[in-house]
Structure 1
Amino acid sequence: MRKANITRSKKTSIGIFITIGAFLLGKIKYVLIVFKFFKLQTLISMFIYLGTYALFFGWKFAVALVYLLFVHEMGHLYAAKKIKLPVSPALFIPFVGAVIGLKEMPKNAKDEGFVAYMGPFFGLLSFLPAIPLYYFTHEPFWALLIILGAMINLFNLIPITPLDGGRIAAGISTKLWGLGIILLLAFSMLNRSAIGFLIVILGGTEWYKLYKKQKSLHDDKIEVQELEHLVVKIKNGSNDLDFVQEVTDKAKQKVTNQEITKILNTLNTEIEKMKKDIYLQQLSGTLVLNEEHLHPNQQVIERTLNSLEEKILDFKKEIQTTESYYKTNKKTKIQLLLIYIGLIIALATSFYYSHEILMNYQEIQL
């Protein structure tokens, strides 16, 4: 009997830690769209997920896990629909987690924080009924449900992207990502967690990319101004192919945006073709330089310039987003901070309460 209890204890512990790891990994796939139909996608993936975990850890654990993850993701779904963000339905992936797909990113860090914290908030609500149920029945399963829900959502509040905690922290200060990296790195080293190290790498990379973007904002703004000036110069001098080629070549040396560089290269290639055609016509004596002859060339240049203007506009929007996305007012920062701290306290208290209960049940001790 004791041997059976120990085996069950080990399986429960393994299941919980796999769940935490899977949930963290699931956050990497924040934008996942696989199936076409809402109800069919969620239902099929849920049953596959349920069956997989039931096979390894039993039906009770599997049902509890699916329930907790489903409610958590419904929190994200509710928040996204509240601010009119298009989303795909929830998808359950065995040993990865449950995710919803965001078809568009939030407009600012405030909206992103709202979508992020509603997941752990719904996660907290999901296991609160288990507290009175344990009190009246003294069934350890309810305590297991509480501690599993608390651990999943508490770990997910570590302030590092792509976890919900990192998305909430972004609306307070992106400097908190540094704290999240330290916390998760320490946890990963103590527990030898490969998934933890992976999240640290992803979070660190995201933080560094944001730092680079913000650092280059001034230079990017100057580049946009120069590109807009370039378009005007080319439009005014489009009849002079040598001039267009010269200003394009000079501009390419300063441009950092790869898509814009590609368009400038295309423009140069087209100009080379035009000049070659003119040269061949000169050799054959068929060259006629008039407005009718130059019109097709100008059309080619005009089409290329239209593409260039579109990319410049996209680049400009990207700069504006980088500059303003993480700017939140004092009221928003305080609101997000209070919600964040409140969730941590509530989940940590629930974890402690359920852990104390489970200490009395040797067969499911963690």
Structure 2
Amino acid sequence: MKKSVKKSSWGILGTLGLLLLGKLKYLLVAFKILKLQTLISMFITLGTYALIFGWKFAAALVYLLFVHEMGHLYAAKKLKLSVSPAVFIPFIGAAIGLKEMPKSAKDEGYLAYMGPLFGLLSFLPAIPLYFLTHEPFWALCIILGGTINLFNLIPITPLDGGRIAAGISTKLWGLGIVLLVAFSIKLGSFIGFLIVILGSIEWYKTYRKQKNLNSSKEEAEKLGLLLNKLKQTSNHVGSIQPILKEVNWNMSQPEVKNAFDTLVSEIEKMSKNFYLQQLSGVPNLSEEAQNENEQVIQQTLIQFEKVIEEYKKDVQITETYYKTDKKTKWQLFLIYLGLIVALSISYFFGNEILMNHPEIRNALNR
């Protein structure tokens, strides 16, 4: 009886598959939507997993990863963020690249949340398929989907859980580091340790930025005043050099310091050349040389201004990015917790039905 149910069920699925394949135009549309690098990396990953684990497991894993990433893509489109196509990497996973950062931790949390949510939805059809076919494969899909998405919800960057937790409190990243260290030690996971290192670096960088926020704001203000002074003077060595000499404070940002040093260096070079020219008996610069100097000063000032604006923007982001009101924090926490609970239930349910499957039980009892 069970065999006939299996055959008829697979027959239904096969028929549906043939009908879908018959609609070739829809497949062509899908190929247009998916970018070439996504398809290439997907098939490479699929082939790699198929060689090791078999095609069914490989197809399930790639499908689960793909739908997860489509969740992020959907959220990015909703937030009007520019992204690069999804890329699959064997034994690591898949990812889409953000070409621009979300405007706030709340938006980042939404972006991160949609991946595991889509991931949950991706394997729910496996539940009725299991009861329809009694195939252990579908139970395995439930377990696999639950595992992938639960792992992603560990509160450590760059995992989705860390990005959701950022809107609640970056202190949760510490908990994520502890959890992932324990997980990595238990399973001997190299990838886990790598994520711990990346997450720890990000946590430290964020901590330092927040700790030094007041001094960074003061420095940004000083740089703004300096820039205004420079812009108000004529692009002449004699006007700019005294202003630069007044700067008696250290610039903490390497990019800003390099741009400032470049400006100082150019001015000193021009001043030295003018001095040597005077020694040779030529008291004034030619109009051509003066215009050339002014152009160099103008270009260097533009670059200096660009770096300062980037720094000011970074300081502003540090000040406002992780600020969320209590309502938002609770919303993020509840949807985060709800997703963890739903995925955990799914995982244990899949594990339960797999372990109680006659074939698996008999294999374990041998």
Contact 1:146 1:351 in 2 (8 A): yes
Which residue of 1 is the match for residue 188 of structure 2? 192
In 1, the alpha carbon distance for the partners of 2:341 and 2:258 equals 52
Q: Which runs of 4+ in 1 moved over 6 A?
A: 289-293
Distance 1:344 1:291, change over 3 A: same
- What pairs up with 1:80-159 in 2 under 5 angstroms? 80-159=76-155
Query: Of 152, 164, 168, which residue of structure 2 is paired with 1:168?
Result: 164
In 2, the alpha carbon distance for the partners of 1:287 and 1:139 equals 94
In 2, the alpha carbon distance for the partners of 1:237 and 1:89 equals 47
Give the length in aligned residue pairs: 330
Which residue of 2 is the match for residue 355 of structure 1? 351
Task: State the SS of the aligned residue for 1:85.
Answer: coil
- What pairs up with 1:18-57 in 2 under 5 angstroms? 38-57=34-53
- What pairs up with 1:323-334 in 2 under 5 angstroms? 323-334=319-330
Contact 1:252 1:261 in 2 (8 A): no
Which residue of 1 is the match for residue 309 of structure 2? 313
Task: State the SS of the aligned residue for 1:47.
Answer: helix
Which residue of 2 is the match for residue 79 of structure 1? 75
Which residue of 2 is the match for residue 230 of structure 1? 226
Unaligned runs of 5+ in 1: 1-35
Distance 1:119 1:363, change over 3 A: farther
What per-residue deviation string (whole Å, max 9, x for no partner) do you get for residues 45-80 of structure 1? 222221111111111111111111111111111111
In 1, the alpha carbon distance for the partners of 2:81 and 2:274 equals 53
Q: Which amino acid aligns with 2:272?
A: K
In 2, the alpha carbon distance for the partners of 1:297 and 1:270 equals 9
In 2, the alpha carbon distance for the partners of 1:363 and 1:238 equals 88
Q: TM-score, normalised by structure 2?
A: 0.83
In 1, the alpha carbon distance for the partners of 2:114 and 2:294 equals 54
Which residue of 1 is the match for residue 18 of structure 2? none
Contact 2:235 2:297 in 1 (8 A): no
1:209 aligns with 2:205: yes
In 1, the alpha carbon distance for the partners of 2:362 and 2:227 equals 74
Distance 1:213 1:285, change over 3 A: same
1:345 aligns with 2:341: yes
In 1, the alpha carbon distance for the partners of 2:81 and 2:228 equals 37
Q: Which amino acid aligns with 1:267?
A: L
Distance 1:168 1:232, change over 3 A: closer
Q: Which amino acid aligns with 1:327?
A: K
In 2, the alpha carbon distance for the partners of 1:81 and 1:254 equals 42
In 1, the alpha carbon distance for the partners of 2:349 and 2:33 equals 40
In 2, the alpha carbon distance for the partners of 1:317 and 1:234 equals 20
1:269 aligns with 2:265: yes
Instruction: Give the superposed CA RMSD.
Output: 2.4
In 2, the alpha carbon distance for the partners of 1:248 and 1:362 equals 79
Contact 2:230 2:240 in 1 (8 A): yes
Unaligned runs of 5+ in 2: 1-31
What per-residue deviation string (whole Å, max 9, x for no partner) do you get for residues 241-293 of structure 1? 46744542553641112122112222222222222222222222221379997
In 1, the alpha carbon distance for the partners of 2:228 and 2:96 equals 45
Deviation, structure 1 residue 237: 5.7
Deviation, structure 1 residue 184: 1.0
In 1, the alpha carbon distance for the partners of 2:193 and 2:271 equals 56
Deviation, structure 1 residue 182: 1.1
What per-residue deviation string (whole Å, max 9, x for no partner) do you get for residues 172-224 of structure 1? 11111111111111222222222212111111111010010111111111112
1:67 aligns with 2:58: no
Which residue of 1 is the match for residue 252 of structure 2? 256
Task: State the SS of the aligned residue for 2:86.
Answer: strand
Task: State the SS of the aligned residue for 1:92.
Answer: strand
Which residue of 1 is the match for residue 217 of structure 2? 221
In 2, the alpha carbon distance for the partners of 1:153 and 1:293 equals 65
What per-residue deviation string (whole Å, max 9, x for no partner) do you get for residues 77-110 of structure 1? 1111111111122222222212212111111111
In 2, the alpha carbon distance for the partners of 1:313 and 1:40 equals 36
Task: State the SS of the aligned residue for 1:101.
Answer: coil
Task: State the SS of the aligned residue for 1:107.
Answer: coil
In 2, the alpha carbon distance for the partners of 1:273 and 1:41 equals 49
Counting aligned pairs with the same residue, the percent is 65
Contact 2:233 2:239 in 1 (8 A): yes
